Amino acid sequence: ILIQSLINTTNFLGPIAIGGGGGSGTRVVAEILKQVGFYIGSDLNSANDNLWFTLLFKRPKWFVKNSNTESEIFKGLRIFEKAMTASHSFRLDEYFFIMKAALKMSFKGHDHLNSGSGMWPIKRILTILNFRKIDVSGYIGWGWKEPNTYIYIKYLHKYFDNLKYIHVIRHGLDMAYSSNQAQLYNWGDILGIKLPDSSIPLPKASLQYWIESNKRTITFCRKFFKGRFLLLNFDQLCLNPEREISLLMAFLGLDIKHVDMDKLKSLPKIPKSTGRYKKHDLTCFNKDEIDAVRSLGFIVDFNYVGKTEK
């Protein structure tokens, strides 16, 4: 598949960014990009997360105590772009930026569970400092997948003139009952979502985060990423992979005649957790929350008859 006839331009395509809620299906979309010839990083985990991006940007405290957030983020993006495109060398201040990020993460990790502490950031440093050894000439373009990417969408819009962004969204009620709630705890305060406690159960807080994070991201991208934004419904990708993958290829600027559609269609699988919300009592959610899930394109097999709550 790695042939120039895949694309309608001779230029190296990119960047293409993939983000979405944790467990929303971003892994499959990243695998599709890999299969058609995009370089999405050389330091990936089993979920295809770009761990350089995680090291540099999974930094919730940036948004609550740093008055110089934008310049710091842009410096991180410059480092990330150099490493991903194997271009230029790091400046002295960029080396310090990487070391500082790794040092902080070594002690505190990158989420509420202290994940990413210890030797994890040291391993990231070893790979990112060797980026010049990476040969990207055999790829048709570059991009990355890291679910938290959407948190930085307005900064990505400012930094990259030609960024294309794919936002993956999965049924909000299924996500509310997921064991993967890292984004709620990492970014909930920033988005104005109250974290779960005795007054608000975890699924309700999770759904509120799902609604707010997706609505904010979609609204922003539809306004500022005209023609460069794709909202990809993971449930539909699993149910009708040929249609959704064809839309994805068109978005990327690729000719489907030159991709192995049979192989790509085999990648999305309906998760066993699909429809898990039906096993739960949904009365903790109010009508507005249920309606919000429907407004974002999902069928809810539940008729709410309670009062509307604001």
**What are the pLDDT digits (tens) for 126-167?**
999 998 888 888 999 999 999 999 999 999 999 999 999 999
Please choose, from the candidates 268, 267, 302, the residue with its C-alpha nearest in 3D space to the C-alpha of residue 287.
Answer: 302
Report whether pLDDT(304) > 60.
no
Look at residue 64 in the predicted model and tell me its pLDDT.
Answer: 74
5 pLDDT above the threshold of 50: no
Mean model confidence pLDDT for the chain:
91
- One-letter amino acid of 87: S
Residue 105: its pLDDT value, please? 84
- pLDDT for 254-285, tens place per residue? 999 999 999 999 999 999 999 999 999 999 99
User: 192 pLDDT band (50/70/90 cuts)?
Assistant: very high
The pTM (predicted TM-score) of the whole model is 0.92
310 vs 99: which has the higher pLDDT: 99
DSSP for 38-94 reads: EE--SSB-TT--BHHHHHHH--TTHHHH-TTHHHHHHHHHHHHHHHHHT-S---HHH
Calculate the dihedral angle through the C-alpha atoms of 202, 204, 205, 209, rounding to the nearest 10 degrees.
130
